[in-house]
Amino acid sequence: MARAKMIFISGGVRSGKSACAESMVRKFDAQRKIYLASGRADDTEMRERIERHRSDRRTDGWHTIEQAKQFEQVLPLLENGDAVLWDCVTTWLANELYEGWDNGQTCAEQKGCMELKWRNMQKTLLQILSKIEFMVIVSNEILDDFMRDEQYMKWLGKIHMWLVQEADQAFEMENGIAFKRK
C-alpha cells in the first residue's frame, strides 16, 4: 500500500500554523479526522486551553488523542483512512528529552537515551504513515534565536531535517501566510 501523504508545517508563535494545518486536514476529507496532541495539562490555564481546543474541535467532528510521549501507543488507535494532525513536535521533544526531570536525571543526561527514543519515533511515524491516508505535522520555529538549550536545539534541528526530508510538502508559516519550501 502506498504511504500516506505527509505535510510538515513550521512557524513562530501565533503564525497561524495550527489553523492552516487544520484546514488542510479538513479539506482532505478523510473518514476520520484525528487530532494528536502532545501538550500536557500541568496547570489550570493549560487544562482550560486544552479543553477549549477539544470542545472547538468536537463540534467539527475531530477525534482527539492525547499522547505526550511513547507514540507507539497511538498506532493501535488509528484506522486505515484516517487523516492525522500532530501538534506539535516541540512539545513532544520536550516531554521525551526532559523525562525523568522530577527524579533528578533527565533523558538528556543519559547517554544514548534520546537516540533510542528518536529511532523508535522514526519507526513509529513510518508505521503510522503506512497505516493512515494523510498526516500533517506541526512544529515551531525556535532555532533562529539565541541558544537556550543546545541539546534541545540540536535535536530539534535534526528532527526537523528528517521530517522535511520525509515530507511530500513542507511549509514555513509567517504571519498567516504559508511559504511552500518543498
Partner 1 sequence: MQIVFGGAFNGKRQFVKQQVKLDEWSWYEGICPESISEPAVIAGFENWVKLQLQNEISEEEILQQVKKVSQQAGSSEQIWILTDMNRGIVPIDPVERELRDVIGRIYQYLFAEAQQITRIWYGIPQIIKGADHCENLYKNR
Out of 61, 112, 147, 175, point to the residue binding partner 1 (CB under 8 A): 147
Give the cell for residue 14.
501565533
Measured from the CB of residue 155, what is the shortest distance to partner 1 in angstroms? 8
Candidate list 3, 53, 120, 153, residue with the active-site label: 53
Measured from the CB of residue 152, what is the shortest distance to partner 1 in angstroms? 10
- If binding means CB under 8 A, how many residues of this protein chain bind partner 1? 23
Does residue 52 have a known ligand-binding role? Answer: no
Q: Applying CB under 8 A, which part among 25-33, 44-52, 128-136, 163-171 lies near partner 1?
A: 163-171
- The contact mask relative to partner 1 for 107-136 (x = CB under 8 A, - = no) is ------------------------------
The catalytic residues are 53
Q: Which residues are at the interface with partner 1 (CB under 8 A)?
A: 10, 12, 141-147, 153-154, 156-158, 160-161, 163-165, 170, 172, 181-182
